Amino acid sequence: MLRRYILNKTNTFINYRYASQSMLQSTIDDKLGIATLVMNKPPVNSLNLEFLEEIKSQLTQFKNDKIRGMILTSDLQKIFCAGLDITEFSNPNPERLSKICTTFQDTWLALYLTQFPTVAVINGHSPAGGCLLAMSCDYRVMVGPNYTIGLNETKLGIVAPKWFQDCMVAVIGQRKAEVSLTTGKMYTTDQALQIGLVDESVPDVDNAINKGIQFLNNFQKISPWAYKMTKDIRRQPTVQWLIDNKQKDLDFVVKSMMSPNVQKSIGLYLQSLKK
């Protein structure tokens, strides 16, 4: 649905390539060199192992396609992405948990370090891992006023890994990130704009896509090499920490997820969602 809208609305996607895996649709406008990656995993685009693998593989494909920019958005009504699939946290199989963790680390590294500029068009709620995906893009346009975004992990009784936290610090600064993270605060679109968690707020998705394209057009006169080097220098410390501590990070997540206290919190949170 959204893909069709983008094609019609911009009227520029004349020469486009379209690829659809079941949960993810990608469109490349060959003229503009802009790719659109649309998440479509009802009901809430929760990130399980298979979905993360699809996202990672599509990002790798875009690298080979040599695109000039990418828009990440959702085809679902009211939801950008609900974060990691919480059902995977409940009584998890440690092997699968480790695999999800590693795949999530790698997907994030691929998204955070793309050689092309990226825009998140946040057209719905975006808690936790959904917020991380958005924060990892170069620019965020959020549809308002009724959606929410934030890293709410403490509300589930779990801890956002260091790379989630550092990513938030990079976007909104140390003090605001510390308060946001410890309280697990979810921000409305207007609040998110006010603290700089998103760059623009617009009333509807049509405007959001247009703003995203406008942002990407800024790079028409920027050398791709200068862009990528600059981004690498900015993002290197956060990335390097994860590369150097991948196993430690994984061990921490798996160990804490298996603890009875965390399992109790996750169980209660899941029940509250079902209600």
Using CB under 6 A, pick the residue from 29, 153, 166, 200 that binds ligand LCXROUX7: 153
Q: Phi first, then psi: what are they for 125, rounded to 5°?
A: -60, 150
Using CB under 6 A, pick the residue from 72, 213, 253, 266 that binds ligand LCXROUX7: 253
Q: What is the DSSP letter of 71?
A: E
C-alpha torsion angle, residues 236, 72, 246, 242 (rounded to 10): 20
To the query of whether residue 178 is one of the catalytic residues in this protein, the response is no
Interface with ligand LCXROUX7 includes 205 (CB under 6 A)? no
What residue type is 130 in one-letter code? G
Residue whose Cβ sits closest to ligand LCXROUX7 = 83
To the query of whether residue 53 is one of the catalytic residues in this protein, the response is no
Q: In terms of CB distance, is 268 or 273 closer to ligand LCXROUX7?
A: 273
Using CB under 6 A, pick the residue from 38, 44, 133, 205 that binds ligand LCXROUX7: 44
CA–CA distance from 223 to each of 68, 160, 181 (Å)? 11, 35, 36
Using CB under 6 A, pick the residue from 38, 58, 74, 129 that binds ligand LCXROUX7: 129
- Provide Rg for the chain, Cα atoms: 18
The strand order across the sheet containing 126-127 reads: 126-127, 148-150, 187-188
To the query of whether residue 129 is one of the catalytic residues in this protein, the response is yes
- Quick one: which of 170, 137, 162 has its CA closest to 241? 162
User: Which one from 151, 152, 181, 200 is the annotated catalytic residue?
Assistant: 152
Q: 208 with 121: CB under 8 angstroms?
A: yes
To the query of whether residue 196 is one of the catalytic residues in this protein, the response is no
Interface with ligand LCXROUX7 includes 212 (CB under 6 A)? no
Interface with ligand LCXROUX7 includes 89 (CB under 6 A)? yes
Q: 250 with 105: CB under 8 angstroms?
A: yes
- Quick one: which of 111, 120, 127, 129 has its CA closest to 231? 111
CA distance 96 to 85: 13
Smallest separation, CB 228 to ligand LCXROUX7 (Å): 26
Interface with ligand LCXROUX7 includes 101 (CB under 6 A)? yes
Tokens encoding 28: 């490349």
Residues at the interface with ligand LCXROUX7 (CB under 6 A): 43-44, 46, 78-79, 82-89, 92, 97, 100-101, 104, 125, 127-129, 152-153, 156, 158, 160-161, 253, 273-274
Catalytic residue numbers read: 84, 129, 152-153
